[in-house]
A and B are shown apart, each in its own frame.
Chain A
Amino acid sequence: MSQYKIIFTGPVGAGKTTAIHSISDVPPIKTDASASDMAKMRKASTTVAMDYGIMNLPGGEKLHLYGTPGQERFDFMWDILVTGGIGLVLLLDNTRADPFQDMKFFLDTFDKFISDTTVAIGVTQMDLSAKPTIEDYHAHLNNLGIKPPVFAVDARVKSDVSLLIQALLYALDPGLEG
């Protein structure tokens, strides 16, 4: 049986681990390591390998949910991760200094994978930092020549993560019926 995956990516602290936790049918397997110094105040650990969760589908099939490590130095693993992936969920932290730079970095990194599949973008922490707005993200994406779904997302809220994945699926095939 083929391994089907959805890949969650984005910078450190964008909510990848939490998002996978929100929709996984099994407790996600985390491969976090201790974060240092000030990082401990906010997040006791950070993902250095990958996160993994499962969605059980009808008929015993499984959808694998993989979260990439946030640190760029682990990017050699990303090529391995995306093999068999059906789409990319990019989570961006709106409180970071330049989320557009983050967005461009991840879109460039996964460029080939996105052109073969598609991407849906979730912007997290908008209750802490309302700007840039979702419209600002669309304006930047328009300049890049793509029109993916971009939603405000609270990674802890299952329905937010679910809607983002639904949009990813419909972007792949608008004719889908649930």
Chain B
Amino acid sequence: MDKNKNPLKVALHGMNERSYKMMAMYLRGPCKGVALVVNSNSAEVDIFDADSVTGQNLLREHFESKSINPAIILSLNDHPQMANALCVKKPVKTDDMLAVFAKAKALLGQNIKSPSLLNSVNIAENTDTILASSKKTEEFSDIEAEKPVLKKYVIDSDEQKKTSKHQAAMQLNEKGFGAFIGNVPGIDVNDPKQFAKANYNPKDYFQGYVESAFKVSREKGQNRQLNSGWNPLVIFPGNNEVWLDVDESQVRSFSGIAIKSTLGSKMSVTPLNQEIVDKGGMALERFQSMDVFLWKVACWASKGRYPVTIDIKKPVYLKSWPNFTRLLVTPHALRIAALLIQCPRTLPNVAEVLNIKPQYVFVFISAACSLGLAGQVIKEADLLVQSPEIKPNKNQGLLSRILSTLLGKKA
């Protein structure tokens, strides 16, 4: 059988969660390109574990429905030959499996050409024989097999090609900050006297339009596109994905410019133009997670400033740790998160306690606010509570050495 060309679409039946996963992984490994696990509705071939209780019932239903899909039966026992069914004896061997897939493909071709042939076979009689033979194996079957299958997932080979979506985080150090994030001319955001001016309004930037488009798209549950007179940003809220056919350096430049007064009138959110999808030109590596994209866009708009919605004199809280393995990690971001997750603090207090430049706190808060992970404390009671001093861990020396080793070992 030709690998990687039209793999058979197979559905797995009668398997507990663990067996299902094993089988799916197996088909993705030794049988890669030959068979692909899909949902039952899209399947061309149905694979049954005949040794499980649910498998027997499902197998019976399959034959009674006179489905044109060939059945592959996995069992510890030998089974009699029957029309439209192929047996593989456990433990499953790759050669046997590949041979059966080749036969299933041939059967499928015949069935599509002459579906009436299936009805002429005395399927019910043979099914009973198979099921009787399977019952013998019940005593060997895993106890878990009797549990209902609680979760099924379909291995989507396209998903794994979305390399940008699953790639590891980029960790920026202080030296790389200026070059990658940028800074604002004419203001020293690290000077406490200039803190009042060290803010920006996300709505003036691409960030604001992206946030708004995400909100609309999620609320309506519809695929949408953000048009900007540039390449459209396509939003798939169901998968939490965006697609943009532009190099990252261009997005970075675009995100750093206040566009409201120049391009604001050209920005619009419309239902997805199906032509973009139908043209088949949606390169998989251009897909990104919505959160990852917005986080970066917010960092580039911020350039070390805090959002205008934050009052620098009042504490901010962090709702939960950001998913740092997939986000752009700005300098000291993990330390800032660890501190803010303990209790709310003002932004200058965070910088002071951690002994870091305020711009690193500001950029982190900008990104965290864009994802709704951070916000301003509004309860009067919380405002009155003084932020506690942090106590050094008794093993601080050891922890620092572990940290240094990890940072020196970055992949």
The residue in chain B whose Cβ has the minimal distance to the Cβ of A153 is B325
Report A-chain residues with C-beta under 8 Å of the C-beta of B21.
13, 42, 95
Is residue A78 contacting chain B, with contact meaning CB distance below 8 A?
Answer: no
Q: Is A19 interfacial (CB-CB < 8 Å)?
A: no
CB distance B354 to A175 under 8 Å? yes
Residues in B whose Cβ lies below 8 Å from that of A149: 321, 324, 337
CB <8 Å contact, A163 and B19: no
Shortest beta-carbon distance, B322 to chain A, in Å? 9
A interface, over-half SS = mixed
Q: Which residues of B contact A164 (CB under 8 A)?
A: 325
Given A41-B92, A61-B401, A174-B335, A162 contacting B409 (CB threshold 8 A): yes
Instruction: Decide if B150 is an interface residue (CB 8 Å cutoff).
Output: yes
The reply to whether B323 and A134 form a contact with Cβ atoms under 8 Å apart is yes
Structural contact, A59 and B399, CB atoms closer than 8 A? no
Partner of B169, one of A4, A59, A133, A163: A163
Instruction: Find residues 380-411 in chain B having any chain A CB closer than 8 Å to their own CB.
Output: 390, 392-393, 395-396, 398-407, 409-411
Among A39, A55, A128, A133, which residue has the most Cβ atoms of chain B within 10 A? A128
Cβ-closest chain B residue relative to A55:
B405
Known pairs A42-B26, A96-B17, A154-B166; A173 contacts B324 (CB<8 A): no
Tell me, rounded to whole Å, the shortest Cβ–Cβ distance linking B149 to chain A. 8
Judged by a CB distance under 8 angstroms, whether B22 is at the interface is yes
Partner of B325, one of A42, A151, A170, A178: A151
Given A38-B23, A41-B92, A133-B240, A95 contacting B334 (CB threshold 8 A): no
Q: A23-B409, A41-B22 in contact; A176/B335 too (CB < 8 A)?
A: yes
A to B contact number (C-beta, < 8 Å) = 176
- The answer to whether A159 has its CB under 8 Å from any CB of chain B is yes
- Report the separation of the CA atoms of residues A171 and B91 in the bound assembly, to the nearest whole angstrom: 47
Task: Knowing A152-B323, A163-B325, say if A158 contacts B409 (CB, 8 Å).
Answer: yes
Interface residue A81 (Cβ < 8 Å from any Cβ of B): no
Give the interface segment out of B152-160, B219-227, B300-308.
B152-160
Q: Provided the pairs A149-B324, A151-B323, A174-B342 are in contact, do residues A160 and B168 lie with their beta carbons within 8 angstroms?
A: yes
Any A CB within 8 A of the CB of B100: no
A162 and B407 CA atoms in complex are apart in Å by 8
A141 to chain B, nearest CB (A): 8
CB distance from A27 to the nearest CB of B (A): 16
Given contacts A159-B168, A167-B321, A176-B400, contact A127 B159 (CB under 8 A): yes
A144 at the interface (CB under 8 A from B): no
State the Cβ distance, B130 to closest chain A Cβ, in Å: 20
Complex contact B409–A128 (CB within 8 A): no
Do A39 and B399 touch across chains, with their CB atoms under 8 A apart? no
Residue A150 at the chain B interface, CB threshold 8 Å: yes
Q: Which A residues, 126 to 178, have Cβ-Cβ distances below 8 Å to chain B?
A: 126-130, 133-135, 138, 141-142, 147-154, 157-160, 162-167, 169-178
Minimum CB distance partner of B76 in chain A: A37
A151 to B353, CA, bound (A): 25
B15 nearest in chain A by CB position:
A38
Interface check A98, CB cutoff 8 A: yes
State A158–B354 Cα separation when bound (angstroms): 27
Contact assessment for B354 and A174 in the assembled complex, using a CB-CB cutoff below 8 Å: yes
CA of A175 to CA of B391 in the docked complex: distance in angstroms? 8
Contact present for B325 and A147 (CB under 8 Å): no
**A169 CB → nearest B CB, Å:** 5
10 CB contacts below 8 A, A to B, read A38-B22, A57-B398, A135-B320, A147-B321, A159-B169, A162-B410, A163-B169, A167-B324, A170-B337, A178-B407
**A residues apposed to B, CB below 8 Å:** 4, 13, 23, 37-42, 55-59, 61, 63, 86, 95-98, 122, 126-130, 133-135, 138, 141-142, 147-154, 157-160, 162-167, 169-178
10 tightest Cβ-Cβ pairs between the two chains A and B: A97-B150, A158-B411, A173-B393, A170-B338, A41-B26, A174-B338, A159-B411, A174-B339, A149-B321, A138-B320
